[in-house]
Structures are given as structure tokens and as C-alpha cells.
Structure 1
Amino acid sequence: MSFDPRDRKRHIAIVGAGPGGLATAMLLAQRGFRVQVFEKQDVIGGRNAELRLGEYSFDLGPTFLMMKFLLDELFVEGGRRSSDYLQFHRLDPMYSLNFPDKTMLARSDPDAMKAEIEKHFPSESAGFDRFLRRESLRFEKLYPCLQQPYGTLASLISPTLLAAAPHIAAGRSLHNVLADYFRSEELRLAFTFQSKYLGMSPWDCPGLFTMIPYTEHAHGVYHVMGGLCRISQAFAEVAREEGAEIHTSTPVARVLLDGRRACGVELASGEKIYCDDVVLNADFGHAMTMLFDEKDLRRHKPSNLRKRKFSCSTFMMYLGLDREYDDVEHHTIVFANNYKKNIEDISHGRSTSEDMSVYIRNSSKTDPSSAPEGHSALYILAPVANNTSDINWKEYSRQCREYVLRILRKRTPYGDVTPHIREEMILTPEDWEKQHSVFLGATFNMAHSWDQMLYLRPHNKFEEFSNCYLVGGGTHPGSGLPTIFESARISANLICEQYEVPYPVAKPLEPALV
């Protein structure tokens, strides 16, 4: 007989109010479960939280919204429309790409993009047509694979995955696949820098992730007015409307176990919350290290975790400036002069040289709410080694800051921003680990190498304990907002299947906008 949660509401405890935990809370609360979310910070959002410095507002983490159609689907499944909670702005140009000798705009319109390619890389625009055509097929075949769990070996021979197998670019890197379309090294990099979303080098990143630049050009890049932090806030608003409880400043000390079954959580205050199922939205490595006794873990003991591959980290600068930069794009990517060496230094844990790659978001150009009138809020990210390196960030942070400011001065239209700084905050890899509970400071979680995907990644229905589920970048499908949203949907659906609660089936792919 089917379980109707209204007869006796099954109780779900969610550890962490990041975007994955809050999306799960929204879906499960709408489906009739009793949901409690416990967040140790005093604000919700995790790495998708809002950061305020005086009158300036920043996103703490993600700033690109891709695959908006997936977000729309989640709200529909939560019984709502995303447009009732969020205001979207589609960017065109999507971003500016600053190479040592040229600056190219990535355009949302395909004809405009071809013209931009031809302007800077003569006779290469035909490769963009081939890219869109071939990669649309890869995306069509591979995207459904991201929508299902891989909790058993049998899942590796599912019809969906078998149909996608010829399209996974086995043995090829992202950079290698882009060589099929473009001769120019710089133009290849223009379509491979997105591997930073996975915290990986384009020379190591599996070729199937050509899906990422494809979906940017096929479906667009969006800004959410007020910041992408508004997405987590919207999930929380819907969840509360459906009866969910969200507790901030309430850290969880450990997951309670009854044998090999998760049966609740113990708060730092000592209070024990017993429930039917536990959902972990904490950083995966942190959760394994802090929320369980090592003796209770089998596959994912902390000592084993350090043998796995983790992403790079990020050196972050959040600057409130007393002037506007209307002539600079919303997103700017500055490539190091020797980009490959820069990536290799990061991968091998070496100190960052002066020749860095830097990403800058000038949100005030699009969104006046981020800064006072006439001012700007700059978000600056530089990929750096994670904390497996021997970098002493207490000593090195100031030097790294100077490198970044020099790059802005010499390589971008921003020039010297130093005289205009009114508010400033820096986050180093050490800060990510100690202040935000990010294992090894690896801000993009476990690397997405061939041996850490699908069944080989920690499972959505956690393999260590029954009645325990994972959401976020440390489980399938991986890091990045769209895949984190998808992890929430997968885990919510698995909980519903356990109790025979009906749920909506994922919709067919949204047609590309090109």
C-alpha cells in the first residue's frame, strides 16, 4: 500500500542550508514531508550565500547561472514559478575574454559570436557551427545521464547510459575535443576555461564536459537580480511556505546512528533530533571528517579521502569601490600569459606566480542593487592550489593581493582600483577550510576525473548508511549550481521512492535557444 505522508509525516533532517539542501527542502516539503534544515552559519546559502560589506552586496560563491531551464523545472516541481520569486537578466555579451594580445566578447547570439570569432581569428568561425551542431547531440545524449542516480553497478548498464556511451569522448580531454573545432590555441581556451567550474585543468578535464561551454552558447548565461544568492533565498521561501523549518546558527555536531542506519542528528548544543532520514548538504569531506566517528566509516574514512583527487581552490577579493565601470562587461576572464603553466602550478600545489588567471564580476553594471549609486561591487576570483600545498596563506595573502591588483591595472579597463576601495574582504584557501568548512579548501569539491564520476563518486543514496542521502557538489552529478540542483532532485526522488510517494518525472530537454 502506498504511503501517504499526510497520514504520518515522515521527518527529514537536512544538514546544511546550501542550494542543494534548500532545493531538497523545497521539494520534500511540497510533497508532504516534515522537513527541518540545520545551518551552522547565521545566514542561509552556504557557498551560495549573500555577503554584505557595508552598503555593498556580493555573492559569496557562484556568479554564473547556466541551464536556467533546470531551475525553472525545480520551481514547477515545488508547485511554483521561478519568475514569481526571481528576476532574471540574460547577459549578452555573456563575458569578455582577455588574452595577452586581444580581447574577445563571448556573444549569446550565434551570428554575433561567429562575427566575433572571425574578427579575432579569421576563417575559424565555421568551427563554431560544427561545435554547436555536434555538441548539441552530445548534450542530448549525456544530459539525461545526469538526471539519474548511480547507486548500483547495474546502473552503469542502464539504457540511458549505454545510449550515451559513444558520446562520452572516452580518453580525451576537454582541450583535446575543442581541437576538433578550432585551430587557434587561444580560441580553444575560450571554450575550455569553463573547466574552472569543476576546479580542473582543461588538459585533464574529461572531454564529455564540452557540455558546459555548449550549454552557455545554446541556453544562455543569466544574472539573477540581487545576486545568485537570491536562488537559495527563494528555495527557502517556498520551503517555509510549505511548512519546512530552517534553523540558522544551529550547527550539527554529528549524525546519529542506529547500527548502519542514520536515525537523526545531534546539535552542537547537545540536543538530539530523531528523524526518518538524514540529508547531508555539508561539504562532503568535512562531513566525513566531522559528522561521523572514523570507526563507523568504511569506504570514506578521512584517511582514505586524502588519497582522492580534489579540485583547486580560489583566492577571493570582494571590493566595494567609489566609482562605476559601465564600460566593462558584467563578467571578465583574464588569461595568464602562460595559461598552461599557471594551471600546472595550481595542480602541483606550487605558489602562485605573478602570472595569474583572474575572473572579475562587475555586477553593478547590470544590477544597481549591489552598490550605492555611482559605486561598484567587484567580485574577483583567482584559481589557486588547495590546502594540500605548503602555501602559508597568512604570509602569502598580501603578495597574492598585489598580483591581482596589478593584473587589473595592466590587463583590464579597470586600471588602478586601489584609490577607490571603500570596502574590502579577502578569502584564501585557508579561510575556505576554517571559516566555511570546505575540506582542503577545495572550493569545487572532489575533482571530476574519470575515476570519480557516476558510480565511483559518493552516491546520492549514501552507500555507508541506510536512510542517509547526499546533495551538493560532493555527490553525483557534481559541482556547479545546475548539477547541485539536480543532486537535490535525485535525492528527493529517492526518498519519495522509499516511501512510495509520487513525484514529477523530469521533463524532456528544453530546446536550445539557437
Structure 2
Amino acid sequence: MTVAQRLPLAETVGHDPARPHAVVIGAGVGGLSAAALLAARGYRVTVIDPLDAPGGRAYAHRQDGFVFDAGPTIVTAPWLFEALWKDCGATFSEDVDLRPCLPFYRVRFDDGTWFDYSGNRTAMEAEVARIDPDNGVAGYRGFMEESRRIYEVAFEQMADKPFHSLAFTAKALLGLVKLGGYRSVHSVVARHFRHEKLRTLFSFHPLLIGGNPFSATSFYCLIAHLESKHGVHYAMGGTNALVAGIAGLVRRNGGTIRLGETVETILTQGRRATGVRLASGETMSADIVISNADPATTYGKLLAHLPRKRWTDRKIGRGDYSMGLFVWYFGTDRRYDNVHHHSMIFGPRYRGLLDDIFHRKNLAGDFSLYLHRPSAVDPSVAPPGSDSFYVLSPVPNLAGKADWASEAEIYRRRIERRLEETVLPDLGHHIVSSRIATPIDFRDRLHSFQGAAFALEPKLLQSAWFRPHNQSEELDNLYLCGAGTHPGAGLPGVICSARIVAGLVPDPSVFKAGRANA
């Protein structure tokens, strides 16, 4: 039964103070989705966010006639969005124009060779055979079969389940251990492919959710099957169009989104959150609190006053966090029609570069890049005759020693030269709009611990039960959603986290009955 079926839509609209109040900290995709589901169930919902528009990591920068998605650009698992809209009494296709990307990515290796990555098995086998005619196709078939097996357990059976019980966790992990969950993504890929290019090509996916392919649990091999089965998509207008749609679901069912306001503290009494205090000094009472903030920020700052048993400052500080990101958003006064929507531009090193980023935390002299060109398919994101781009480079988080105040522009120029040498000739003469984001922006603007772009790194012992729980271990009526909690980062992950929270939160009638008996 969907939440829309549990509570008729007509009963969810309005600001009746008798309705139990849910305060949601953060208007990212996870926070908005949780708010939309709870509003549809009958909660009075208030979402609070410090930015001037919803989105969080999925914010949109608008300048000089260009639209730049700030963060996520790759949409997979479209049925999760369709289900969200349905549960909120709406129809997804009426609000969002989602279109498939074919191929998914164009991949450029450092020697100048290209690979078109798609979900078409015949086309993929032909591409693989070009690189390794002897063993490539057999390796591809074996890997995709293993990816399917992992997907059917790790995603279909576990991604939308809370890992709060040790008994459930032990049973689930036993099944995953049988699938080799103790291995890394790269080690699984290397068992199937001999050619280094193919090992790189089929192991890079964890980087899209903050993981090092050499240490991320092999559960994330499921991404290959997920994409192959359901495709890679783009929301016309940009990923922020999805955000606007989810924000509309919140408001449709009577929820309120307060922007430009920062939660300073979660107020508590005993083992219960009683509300929040804003930086302005305003206090707001709540029956439940949902945090879409980075869990390290939730526990280390918003609950700094609370004696914590599990998520202590020491434990937070000892965690392994995802890499940082350097993102350059730029618009050009010409079009580059030979550049695909999504391009991966690999550098000369793979493991060595990842060691620099994740372990040595050095800002290396080389890089691998993800280039996003939405104007390839969407004229609304750039002026006529122009192109809208962003290029993303994984870098060390702020546990490293990079001085971004002095190095950001130098690094941007190096990326510009690399793009000119590879895919965007004469780029420097055609830039008409530019802005950058560094790990400092992730720390200061998005309140991400250590400026990490994806919160905790998705390693085996930082996944599932070992990740911050969706229902807080510290407070009975505090819930967590978003990239830092189970099941992890990426749009499918944060949507699933919101759905888990919506399933854990008590029915509104529980609070009404309690008030009646008080």
C-alpha cells in the first residue's frame, strides 16, 4: 500500500496545527523526498535550508544566461521517481521530462582512443572486442552476470531496508559475503578483464558516489547492471528540474520550505528531539526531526551538546571520508557539437592517481575528468549558439594540504589546457561565463565534513549497519536521510534513504492519540 493510499490527498493539505509536525533539515533530494512522503501521510512538514533555492548538492547555478547543475547529472533508476510522485498523489511525467542518454558516456583514454559505453549488449561487446579481441567479450559477459547477481541482492533486496538490527544485518551480510562483498570493485573487475583499459572502464563507477574503486565494496559492481537494465537519463532543464518537481510535491500536500535559514542546534530533552533552533535565534518545536545534513555535521555540530554513545566526535573524526571535488562550470560562445552529453576523460594514471586522492591526499599534477555538456540535448540551459558545461575533477578532501585559496585558479587553468588538448580546441578564446567550486565550498556552503563531496567513503565497514542509521542511535525521534546514511550517495541511494525514513516514522495518528490522552 502506498502512502497516498494510506491517507487520502484531501486530508493532507493545509497547515492545521493539530497535525504532528516534522522538521526536515536540508532541502537536498533526500530531505525533500522524505518531506514529500511525510506530507502525503498527513504530517505538517517544514523544510529548512540555508541556500536561496532547493537542491543542496543538486542546486542549480544560473548566470549569464546559462544553467549549471551544481552536482548530480546522471539519473538512473527512474522508477524510483515515478513511485515517489505516485505516493504523493501526482504523476511524474506531467512534471518532469526525462529522456534517455545514448550512449551513456563517451570515454576517452589517455592515448586518444574512445569507447562508447551503453546498455546495448551487442554494441558493448563490439566496443570491448576492439580493445581486447581475445578475452574481452567473455570477460564482459562474466562481469555483467556477476553484476546482475549482486544487483538482485544488494539493490533489490536491501537498498530500501533499514539496517538497524544486528540479526538482520548478519543475515544480509552473510548473503553478500557469499557474493564476495569483502572484495573491492576493482578486484572483481580484474577477475573478469585482463586488459588495463577494460579494468579501468568497468571499475570507475564508485567514483560517481565517492568511492575508491580499489577499496569500495564490490556491492557497487551492481551499478553496471542497474544502468544496463534501466538506462541513464537526463531531466530536461537539468537535474534541478527534478528538485523543483519534488519541492512541488512537498508544497502540494501542505508542506513549507523555508530558504535562507540555517539550523544551528537540534533541541533535545532526554532521548527525544523537541525541535530546532535557527541561527537567527528562532526556535521551532517538532514531533520528529529529519536531518538531510551530513551525519558528521548532524552529530558533531547540531548535536554537539548531546552526550553521544555511538557517533562521538572521536568516531566521527576517525572515519574515512570520500574524496573532494573540484568543479568548473563554464559557458562558451560557440558550440562543440562533436562532444557528447557525458564524457569521461581518463588521464595517464589510474591507481596511482587514486592513491594520491584517497591515501596520500596530494593534489596531483595529472587528473581524470568528467565533462558534462547538457546543451548537447537541452537548448534551455544555454543561449542560442552557445554551450553549457561543467567539468569535475576528483581531488583530496580537506584532510589534504591543498591551499585552494591560492591554487584554485591555477588548477582551473590546468584543466582548461587539458580540455583544449583533448576535446575542446581553442576553449580559452570562447569562455564567456565561469565559476568554480572546491572542497572549501562543500564545507562552507553545504556543511560537508572535511569538504568531502559524498560524506563517508562507501567501504564495507562504512556501509549498511556500519553507516549512520536512518533512525538515529542517539535520539528516538531523529531520522537521517541523504548521502551519508544507508544506502549511500547517488540519486537512487538518497531516494531510497528517504523512503526508508518514511517507513520508519510513526503514523501521525500516534501523536494525535498521545495528545488526546495527555
Contact 1:477 1:487 in 2 (8 A): yes
> In 2, Cα distance between the equivalents of 1:117 and 1:500?
57
Contact 1:17 1:37 in 2 (8 A): yes
1:111-260 to 2 correspondences below 5 Å: 111-123=122-134, 124-143=136-155, 144-158=157-171, 162-167=174-179, 169-260=180-271
1:92-107 to 2 correspondences below 5 Å: 92-101=102-111, 102-107=113-118
- SS of the aligned residue for 2:505 comes to helix
Deviations 1:113-162 (A, max 9, x none): 1112222332312322223333222211221111110112122145x655
Shift of 1:218: 2.1
Q: Which amino acid aligns with 1:25?
A: A
> In 1, Cα distance between the equivalents of 2:104 and 2:333?
25
> In 2, Cα distance between the equivalents of 1:366 and 1:500?
49
Shift of 1:298: 2.9
Q: Give RMSD over aligned pairs.
A: 1.9
Residue in structure 2 matched with residue 505 of structure 1 by the alignment: none
Task: Label 1:104 to 1:500 Cα distance change in 2 as closer, same or farther (>3 A).
Answer: farther
Contact 1:294 1:302 in 2 (8 A): no
> In 2, Cα distance between the equivalents of 1:236 and 1:458?
25
> In 2, Cα distance between the equivalents of 1:153 and 1:335?
41
Shift of 1:295: 4.5
Q: Which amino acid aligns with 1:439?
A: F
> In 2, Cα distance between the equivalents of 1:227 and 1:111?
30
Residue in structure 2 matched with residue 341 of structure 1 by the alignment: 352
- TM-score between the two structures when normalised by the length of structure 1: 0.93
Deviations 1:251-284 (A, max 9, x none): 1111110122101111222121111100001122
* Residue from 23, 27, 30 that aligns with 1:13: 23
Task: Label 1:500 to 1:110 Cα distance change in 2 as closer, same or farther (>3 A).
Answer: farther
1:353 lines up with 2:364 in the alignment: yes
> In 2, Cα distance between the equivalents of 1:118 and 1:476?
37
Shift of 1:61: 0.6
Task: Identify which range, 298-307 or 472-481, moves more after superposition.
Answer: 298-307
> In 2, Cα distance between the equivalents of 1:416 and 1:195?
32
> In 2, Cα distance between the equivalents of 1:466 and 1:112?
51
Contact 1:349 1:386 in 2 (8 A): no
Shift of 1:172: 1.2
Q: Which amino acid aligns with 1:139?
A: Y
Residue in structure 1 matched with residue 35 of structure 2 by the alignment: 25
Shift of 1:286: 2.1
1:359-508 to 2 correspondences below 5 Å: 359-410=370-421, 412-496=422-506
Q: Which runs of 5+ in 2 are unaligned?
A: 1-5, 512-518
1:299 lines up with 2:304 in the alignment: no
Shift of 1:351: 3.2
- How many residues align? The count is 496
Task: Tell me the percent identity.
Answer: 34
> In 2, Cα distance between the equivalents of 1:9 and 1:162?
42
- SS of the aligned residue for 2:261 comes to coil
Shift of 1:435: 2.3
Q: Which runs of 5+ in 1 are unaligned?
A: 502-514
Task: Label 1:336 to 1:499 Cα distance change in 2 as closer, same or farther (>3 A).
Answer: farther
Task: Identify which range, 354-363 or 116-125, moves more after superposition.
Answer: 116-125
Contact 1:408 1:416 in 2 (8 A): no
> In 1, Cα distance between the equivalents of 2:125 and 2:25?
46
* Residue from 56, 64, 67 that aligns with 1:46: 56
> In 1, Cα distance between the equivalents of 2:434 and 2:362?
23
Q: Which amino acid aligns with 2:394?
A: P
Contact 1:294 1:301 in 2 (8 A): no
> In 1, Cα distance between the equivalents of 2:186 and 2:221?
9
> In 2, Cα distance between the equivalents of 1:294 and 1:329?
50
Task: Identify which range, 208-217 or 361-370, moves more after superposition.
Answer: 208-217
Q: Which amino acid aligns with 1:462?
A: S
Residue in structure 1 matched with residue 516 of structure 2 by the alignment: none
1:267-278 to 2 correspondences below 5 Å: 267-278=278-289
Contact 1:91 1:108 in 2 (8 A): no
> In 1, Cα distance between the equivalents of 2:260 and 2:360?
34
> In 2, Cα distance between the equivalents of 1:499 and 1:456?
32
> In 2, Cα distance between the equivalents of 1:122 and 1:498?
61
Shift of 1:441: 0.6
* Residue from 314, 321, 327 that aligns with 2:332: 321
Residue in structure 1 matched with residue 3 of structure 2 by the alignment: none
> In 2, Cα distance between the equivalents of 1:475 and 1:417?
40
Shift of 1:163: 4.5
> In 1, Cα distance between the equivalents of 2:228 and 2:399?
35
Task: Label 1:218 to 1:127 Cα distance change in 2 as closer, same or farther (>3 A).
Answer: farther
Contact 1:132 1:218 in 2 (8 A): no
Shift of 1:436: 2.3
- SS of the aligned residue for 1:257 comes to strand
> In 2, Cα distance between the equivalents of 1:177 and 1:197?
18
Shift of 1:180: 2.8
Q: Which amino acid aligns with 2:460?
A: W
Shift of 1:432: 1.5
Shift of 1:239: 1.2
Task: Identify which range, 118-127 or 390-399, moves more after superposition.
Answer: 118-127
Shift of 1:246: 0.8
Shift of 1:315: 0.5
Deviations 1:372-401 (A, max 9, x none): 011011111000000001111111112211
Deviations 1:338-388 (A, max 9, x none): 111111110124432331111100110011111001101111100000000
Shift of 1:499: 5.7
Deviations 1:146-187 (A, max 9, x none): 1110112122145x65554422x1331101111232211111
Task: Identify which range, 148-157 or 60-69, moves more after superposition.
Answer: 148-157
Residue in structure 2 matched with residue 508 of structure 1 by the alignment: none
Contact 1:405 1:416 in 2 (8 A): no
Shift of 1:497: 5.7
Q: Which amino acid aligns with 1:378?
A: F
Shift of 1:290: 2.4
Q: Which amino acid aligns with 1:68?
A: P
Contact 2:267 2:273 in 1 (8 A): yes
Contact 2:151 2:223 in 1 (8 A): no
> In 2, Cα distance between the equivalents of 1:70 and 1:134?
23
